[in-house]
Chain A
């Protein structure tokens, strides 16, 4: 059962999830700082630039995410710095340019392989206090729309899902759609060991997966 795993880069993770109907906030993948600056002009500023690679699992912890970049010059500077932070063990790296998504609420969703019960869909309250609050719901793959609705309803912190600080309530159907997409992902690919959609930023009530990390068994295509 215990086998080695590897992670996919953010861009590859998002691409894989999209094929199973899990919508994520896409980004533009570029190899160089100047190209990052050029392509950022296609998006609305401010933008985000991240250093990505298959071997880079925790970008935030390593300071590989630059937020709120206001113009092409800022993007070029940030991208140059990020490329300089790449370590030899990271292997091939790339830059990901994305629109800046802002919301006051964060959720987390994903897939987890349980020792006893196998693949499970997970939903929780996200953000910096996620582990301290520990408000999570799991269901075994596959889940039905009723299961998805009950996962959302099962979170203790319901106040965060209602209307909040001038923002509308979380769109429960959109959130359920993400959970059902995760379930389909696990069903269709047994080599997927885990998925993190962290965070799911709630913007105008819609949960948006701004980051995605897929972990697969080594040897899997």
Chain B
């Protein structure tokens, strides 16, 4: 039985949270959880229980749930108590109107036969009490619309539109770390732990209808029921883009001796086909998964496969064109009227071809103008823009060099930095105006993250791809999903 929308609201948008088993020892989960909830500015009420009472981080801990003030408004209990205490705890919570529990406690399904029996009993009890049971053995839940950081690990991500659900808590952290680095934020994130009652598919199903979430991002390993998982993620992907990273070595499985078809069936091929059929974007690596989700969350879907490359240097364009050739995308053929229009903006040495190599012929307004011309043309479905930040990179060398200030350096440094900011903003503006994806790629996004170019891309709420190949990969995922929708009448 999937949780109700009300129960999910109690988990992700609680009016009040109580940390059960709060600790005064900064090394314990019961302390860390309370610390993270308080320090990240959760706006609702916060309470804590501790068998010995006492003040922890300014909160007056009470010995048990029954001792909480009668006017406390509570929706969520964050459980850091030992497994043996949890049945009584849940009963007391239900009596106080709590409808969601995140259980970090270990000693359940991961701990042998006895643990599994305890887990089944806890699931049954929570169902009977009407409590959503997240975990057990999970790392926590994050919900940026509620400024909620109820987890026993870092980081707290910037707010945004990606909804994360993971069978591994550490992958939640990985995705959130990428969110911190790229500034492409998160709406909700949850570590499903043992997923005893609420599964990754349940969370994704909630995200699919969640107005705060634009794209789902999930990590899964062993599936209990593959067929059911397929049906669930298919329904999710018909509503919102969903990116999946799958772990777990292929086991090969039993192969029917009689069948060649079976001999050719590696588990991974079947999983891959399942994803294609469900419209799920399957990523091969952690960074590819995050970047695909970040792109879904921040760029419009392309209406076709034709990509134009706008570059300030030849080699970058050539390598990007190679990446496109090896993908499901196509290199747009430059229409004559588009060529003529670009001719107006550039000296004759520009490439007159796609990649559109500006060949150093640009003046103050060329890049914004060419981006607008290219993205605005009917023969182009998406744009990849290369070369942002080079001038600011030189400006940094000048700013940090021994001649600065002086020799006219201040003026040129300021000019370069201003220009790169303008170019980054222009790429985002053109994308919004045309409804087409415009992706900016430069290694400076990681080599020199404070460079004003990449910094302005981030400030504009978009991903600055660290290589054009990664931009092509992400754009390819968007195009595949756009096709999936169109072919099935889901537009």
Top 9 nearest A-B pairs (CB, nearest first) are A116-B226, A110-B261, A138-B273, A194-B259, A117-B226, A138-B270, A112-B261, A57-B258, A215-B258
Taking a contact as CB atoms under 8 Å apart, the answer to whether A108 and B264 are in contact is yes
The reply to whether the CB of A90 lies closer than 8 angstroms to some CB of chain B is: no
13 contacts between A and B (CB under 8 A): A57-B257, A112-B259, A112-B270, A113-B256, A114-B253, A114-B265, A130-B264, A134-B266, A146-B487, A194-B258, A194-B259, A198-B261, A215-B259
Q: Which residues of B contact A110 (CB under 8 A)?
A: 259-261
Determine which residue in A113, A138, A151 has the highest number of CB atoms from chain B within 10 A of its CB, and name it.
A138
Q: Which residues of A contact B263 (CB under 8 A)?
A: 131
The reply to whether the CB of B25 lies closer than 8 angstroms to some CB of chain A is: no
Output the least CB separation between B361 and chain A (Å).
39
Taking a contact as CB atoms under 8 Å apart, the answer to whether A139 and B277 are in contact is yes
Chain A contact residues, majority secondary structure: strand
Contact with A along B472-491 (1 / 0, CB 8 A): 00000000000000011000
The reply to whether the CB of B276 lies closer than 8 angstroms to some CB of chain A is: yes
Contact of A118 among B227, B260, B267, B272 (CB under 8 A): B227
> When chains A and B are docked, how far (Å) is the Cα of A9 from the Cα of B276?
34
The reply to whether the CB of A177 lies closer than 8 angstroms to some CB of chain B is: no
Taking a contact as CB atoms under 8 Å apart, the answer to whether B258 and A140 are in contact is no
The reply to whether the CB of B223 lies closer than 8 angstroms to some CB of chain A is: yes
The reply to whether the CB of A154 lies closer than 8 angstroms to some CB of chain B is: yes
Taking a contact as CB atoms under 8 Å apart, the answer to whether B264 and A124 are in contact is yes
Interface size class of B (residues with CB under 8 A): 20 to 34
Taking a contact as CB atoms under 8 Å apart, the answer to whether B227 and A140 are in contact is yes
With an 8 Å Cβ cutoff, the count of chain A residues facing the other chain is 39
Q: Which residues of B contact A109 (CB under 8 A)?
A: 261
Given contacts A120-B270, A143-B277, A150-B276, contact A213 B253 (CB under 8 A): no
Report which A residues bind B (CB closer than 8 A).
Answer: 2, 5, 7, 57, 108-118, 120, 122, 124, 130-131, 134, 136-140, 143, 146-147, 150-151, 154, 193-196, 198, 213, 215
Output the least CB separation between B220 and chain A (Å).
12
Q: Which residues of A contact B230 (CB under 8 A)?
A: 117, 140
Contact of B276 among A114, A117, A154 (CB under 8 A): A154
Determine which residue in B253, B256, B266 has the highest number of CB atoms from chain A within 10 A of its CB, and name it.
B256
Taking a contact as CB atoms under 8 Å apart, the answer to whether B273 and A120 are in contact is yes
Q: Kindly list 8 other residue pairs between chains A and B, CB separation below 8 angstroms, not including A109-B261, A112-B270.
A: A5-B256, A57-B258, A110-B259, A113-B256, A117-B226, A118-B226, A122-B264, A150-B487
> When chains A and B are docked, how far (Å) is the Cα of A163 from the Cα of B369?
43
Q: Which residues of A contact B26 (CB under 8 A)?
A: none
The reply to whether the CB of B274 lies closer than 8 angstroms to some CB of chain A is: yes
Output the least CB separation between A42 and chain B (Å).
31
> When chains A and B are docked, how far (Å) is the Cα of A134 from the Cα of B253?
17
Find residues 216-250 in chain B having any chain A CB closer than 8 Å to their own CB: 223, 225-227, 230
Output the least CB separation between B275 and chain A (Å).
10
Determine which residue in B269, B271, B273 has the highest number of CB atoms from chain A within 10 A of its CB, and name it.
B273
The reply to whether the CB of B262 lies closer than 8 angstroms to some CB of chain A is: yes
